[in-house]
């Protein structure tokens, strides 16, 4: 048994007040994201967890990379036939979350995922290094495979036989998650943390509330 009850950290770096928050959560997200990118203690600020409700009824969370965000949503790329792709097909409600320990900050976004326009997925696929393109093509993401050697031989085969241009396979591309709620969590001393949640109402206005920690 490993007892971790003494693992305890006081969060003291920043605070989050109603008077500081912007009307639009995207602006606050952009500020926090850029601060995370610039912070020495944060590696891969764009790594985020994506939770889906699986076909087996269980939620599942895994890390992907945020590749773009705007008013229209948050974009990541993956295999549409992967476990997450199949889950999104059946239930597009997802949750994205960022934890930036160096900033003592968490952001949780609930939203609806849809496939990104194919020309945007094409553009991103073309911008990737060839070996990344090859891996995306030959990897039946989330399927059982016989061995690592099997994948390496598929990778070698396609790398050798293909020219400079590889077409994006239809089973690989982006999802864009349109946010319904965005919650900002700032760690504070003595566990009295700050939580500010933005929720879209029926008129598509953002409603801002403070939540108890």
Ligand X SMILES: Cc1cc2nc3c(=O)[nH]c(=O)nc-3n(C[C@H](O)[C@H](O)[C@H](O)COP(=O)(O)O)c2cc1C
- What are φ and ψ of residue 119, in 5° steps? -65, -30
Helix, strand, coil fractions of the chain, as percent rounded to 5:
30, 35, 35
Q: Which of 86, 191, 197, 210 is catalytic?
A: 191
Q: How far is the CB of 29 from ligand X (least distance, A)?
A: 18
188 is a catalytic site residue: no
Beta bridge partners of 190: none
Q: How far is the CB of 157 from ligand X (least distance, A)?
A: 22
> Per rule CB under 6 A, is residue 78 in the interface with ligand X?
yes
* Terminal alpha carbon distance of the chain: 29
> Per rule CB under 6 A, is residue 208 in the interface with ligand X?
no
> Per rule CB under 6 A, is residue 62 in the interface with ligand X?
yes
Residue from the set 37, 65, 117, 145 that interacts with ligand X by CB under 6 A: 65
Distance CA 133, CA 119 (A): 16
> Per rule CB under 6 A, is residue 64 in the interface with ligand X?
yes
Please give the sequence-ordered ranges of beta strands (E in DSSP) within the chain, or none if there are none: 47-53, 59-65, 68-70, 73-79, 93-100, 105-115, 172-186, 194-200, 206-210
Q: How far is the CB of 147 from ligand X (least distance, A)?
A: 18
Residues between 29 and 48 that touch ligand X (CB under 6 A): 44, 47
Q: How far is the CB of 154 from ligand X (least distance, A)?
A: 17
> Per rule CB under 6 A, is residue 211 in the interface with ligand X?
no
> Per rule CB under 6 A, is residue 133 in the interface with ligand X?
no
Q: Cβ closer to ligand X: 135 or 181?
A: 135
- CA torsion sign for 202, 200, 50, 133 is positive
DSSP state letters, 83-112: HHHHHHHH--EEEEEEEEGGGTEEEEEEEE
> Per rule CB under 6 A, is residue 80 in the interface with ligand X?
no
Interface ranges with ligand X (CB under 6 A) = 44, 47, 60, 62-65, 76-78, 82-84, 141-142
């Amino acid at each position: 048994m490993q007892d971790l009850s003494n693992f305890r950290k006081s969060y003291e770096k920043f605070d989050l007040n109603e008077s500081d928050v912007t009307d639009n959560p995207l602006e606050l997200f952009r500020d926090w994201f850029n601060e995370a990118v610039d912070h020495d203690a944060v590696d891969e600020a764009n790594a985020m967890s994506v939770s889906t409700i699986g076909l087996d009824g269980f939620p599942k969370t895994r890390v992907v990379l945020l590749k773009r965000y705007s008013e229209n949503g948050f974009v990541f790329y993956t295999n549409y036939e992967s476990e997450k792709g199949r889950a999104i097909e059946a239930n597009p409600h997802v949750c994205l979350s960022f934890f930036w320990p160096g900033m003592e900050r968490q952001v949780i976004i609930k939203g609806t995922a849809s496939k990104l326009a194919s020309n945007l997925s094409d553009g991103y696929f073309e911008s990737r290094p060839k070996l990344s393109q090859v891996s995306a093509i030959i990897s039946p993401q989330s399927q059982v495979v016989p061995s690592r050697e099997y994948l390496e031989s598929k990778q070698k085969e396609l790398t050798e036989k293909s020219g400079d241009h590889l077409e994006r396979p239809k089973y690989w591309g982006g999802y864009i998650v349109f946010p319904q709620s965005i919650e900002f969590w700032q760690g504070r001393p003595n566990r009295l943390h700050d939580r500010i949640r933005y929720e879209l109402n029926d008129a598509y206005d953002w409603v801002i509330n403070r939540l108890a920690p």
